[in-house]
Amino acid sequence: MLLIFVTLLSICIKALIIYSVQIWHSNMPHNKIADRKGHQGWMKREGQHFLFPGGGTMFPDGAEQYIEKLSQYIPIKGGALRTALDMGCGVASFGGYLLAQNILAMSFAPRDSHKSQIQFALERGIPAFVAMLGTRRLPFPAFGFDLVHCSRCLIPFTAYNATYFLEVDRLLRPGGYLVISGPPVRWPKQEKEWSDLQAVAKTLCYEQITVDGNTAIWKKPAGDSCLPNQNEFGLELCDDSGDLSQAWYFKLKKCVSSTSSIKGDYAIGTIPKWPMRLTAAPLRSTLLKTGVDVYEADTKQWARRVAHYKNSLNIKLGTPSIRNIMDMNALYGGFAAALKSDPVWVMNVVPAQKPPTLDAIFDRGLIGVYHDWCEPFSTYPRTYDLIHVVSIESLIKDPASGKTRCNIVDLMVEIDRILRPEGTIVVRDAPEVIDKVARIAHSVRWKPTIYDKEPDSHNSEKILVLTKTFWKL
């Protein structure tokens, strides 16, 4: 037992990530994917490293060429598309290579026979998390992704099911693109599934852009779906469109999400191109209630705060030590937006109990998920380099009653699990909360330092910077 523990600790700190290309074998000594998928270019072992040649089951010659092929049909270059979803991503080479085009992909897959695929993706520094398309909505807002991709992501479209298509439709931005490659697209013995898939796409008025080999590409209508009253699948518009963005413990519904229920100009072609959309105030309904002024002030405030983190608190943002970042209480994604020029990506988490602002985050061209911080986060151990949290106590309180729903020590142990050894945690909160967290920090072997807030900040917050130590028994 002791030996396993010491071995685990000794392998986990080799933090040098040569982004997307190679990782230390000893950080994740799991050879199964390399053995089974090496011939498809997923990854291979070479001495002390795993190398990632950039291939995949549907693109054994490399994601780069595959993306080049897609760009004949889809405006991959030029900023019209920014947020992408790669369903059933393997080790996330597709998402990794999209980054070169300034497209930020959220890649996901379950822990199945492909084992720790998402851990490999994160070790490479590619945005990813553990999930599967099953019985519940994925934890994303409606109409957030400009591009949805599924290459041989097996279950969803092989065992063809209209409900899965409707979930993809909920997630896809009006005017966005859907790419499915592999079965059932022109696949032997899957003629029925292929024909059904085309028929449901047609029922929702998706325009088939091309079928090139085994890759099919559709464009979702920029306006509302043209769903007729009668259709062969018995599909109807969802009756309560108000809950379209509810995606935490929400059962999949077999109905069509209507765009008319959400105000604002957010379709592809209307929303500003990247990078302008990062700073243009998103016009979704949730934000309009708050007001554009508040949003602009938030953006400016985060630029000042991040400058303070870098210049006065000596946090290594902007250096190769920090790549995978999580903002546990992201609101409008202001913290992530202020890091735009740094070689990092940010998982913006909007707590499921708070106002659902994730749609605005996606409209800005950033990515994230809904999550309840009284539960474990869907990732592997040691996968984030920096974790940022504003109002840590609010994450575990019930907003209506103000009562605590779970223990702050459990939350800190979960943060400790997610964080890479020698990683950093930044907590902003009231002085009494900061003192409490700093006291508990010693028990989880984090080194705490308390700082004053930025000089021009008006509230009474303090900033606690914690370092997870690298320790052995």
Ligand X SMILES: C[S@@+](CC[C@H](N)C(=O)[O-])C[C@H]1O[C@@H](n2cnc3c(N)ncnc32)[C@H](O)[C@@H]1O
Give contact residues for ligand X (rule: CB under 6 A): 56-58, 87-90, 109-110, 112, 114, 117, 132-134, 151-156
Query: Is omega for the bond preceding 381 within 30 degrees of 0, making it cis?
Result: no
Say which DSSP state 136 is in: B
Which tokens sit at 174?
Answer: 């009006």
Residue 358 neighbours by CB under 8 Å, 6+ apart: 140, 141, 144, 245, 330, 348, 350, 368, 369, 370
Rounded to the nearest whole angstrom, what is the least distance from the CB of residue 195 to ligand X in the complex? 22
The answer to whether residues 198 and 165 touch, using CB atoms and an 8 Å cutoff, is no
Residue 113 or 311 having the CB closest to ligand X: 113
Rounded to the nearest whole angstrom, what is the least distance from the CB of residue 145 to ligand X in the complex? 15
Residue 183 or 282 having the CB closest to ligand X: 183
Rounded to the nearest whole angstrom, what is the least distance from the CB of residue 215 to ligand X in the complex? 11
Residue 80 or 133 having the CB closest to ligand X: 133
Rounded to the nearest whole angstrom, what is the least distance from the CB of residue 196 to ligand X in the complex? 18
Say which DSSP state 273 is in: P
Rounded to the nearest whole angstrom, what is the least distance from the CB of residue 96 to ligand X in the complex? 12
Residue 98 or 331 having the CB closest to ligand X: 98
Composition of the chain by helix, strand, coil, percent to 5? 30, 20, 45
Residue 153 or 350 having the CB closest to ligand X: 153
**DSSP codes joined into one string, 210-242:** EEETTEEEEE--SS-----SS-TT---B-S-GG
Cα 455–Cα 461–Cα 466 angle in degrees, nearest 5: 100
Residue 132 or 438 having the CB closest to ligand X: 132
Residue 90 or 176 having the CB closest to ligand X: 90
Residue 58 or 268 having the CB closest to ligand X: 58
Rounded to the nearest whole angstrom, what is the least distance from the CB of residue 118 to ligand X in the complex? 9
Which tokens sit at 139?
Answer: 């934890």
Residue 89 or 147 having the CB closest to ligand X: 89
**DSSP codes joined into one string, 280-335:** SPP--HHHHHH-HHHHHHHHHHHHHHHHHHHHTS---TTSTT--EEEETT-TTTHH
Rounded to the nearest whole angstrom, what is the least distance from the CB of residue 11 to ligand X in the complex? 24
Q: State residue 387 phi and psi, 5-degree precision.
A: -125, 130
Q: At what angle do helices 162-171 and 191-203 cross, to 10 degrees?
A: 40
Rounded to the nearest whole angstrom, what is the least distance from the CB of residue 127 to ligand X in the complex? 15
**Bridging pattern class, strands 22-24 and 49-51:** antiparallel
Rounded to the nearest whole angstrom, what is the least distance from the CB of residue 53 to ligand X in the complex? 12
Residue 130 or 426 having the CB closest to ligand X: 130
**DSSP codes joined into one string, 180-192:** EESTTTT-TT-HH
Q: How far is CA 341 from CA 278, 313, 337, 338, in A?
A: 12, 19, 9, 8
Residue 156 or 175 having the CB closest to ligand X: 156
* Residue 391 zone, left/alpha/beta (φ > 0; ψ -120 to 50; rest): left
Distance CA 421, CA 233 (A): 51
Question: Residue 439 is which amino acid?
Answer: R
Rounded to the nearest whole angstrom, what is the least distance from the CB of residue 63 to ligand X in the complex? 9
Where does 353-430 have alpha helices with state H?
358-363, 408-418
Residue 178 or 315 having the CB closest to ligand X: 178
The strands making up 44-46's β-sheet, listed across from edge to edge, are: 22-24, 49-51, 44-46
Distance CA 444, CA 43 (A): 35
Which tokens sit at 433?
Answer: 């909360």
Rounded to the nearest whole angstrom, what is the least distance from the CB of residue 140 to ligand X in the complex? 13
Rounded to the nearest whole angstrom, what is the least distance from the CB of residue 132 to ligand X in the complex? 4
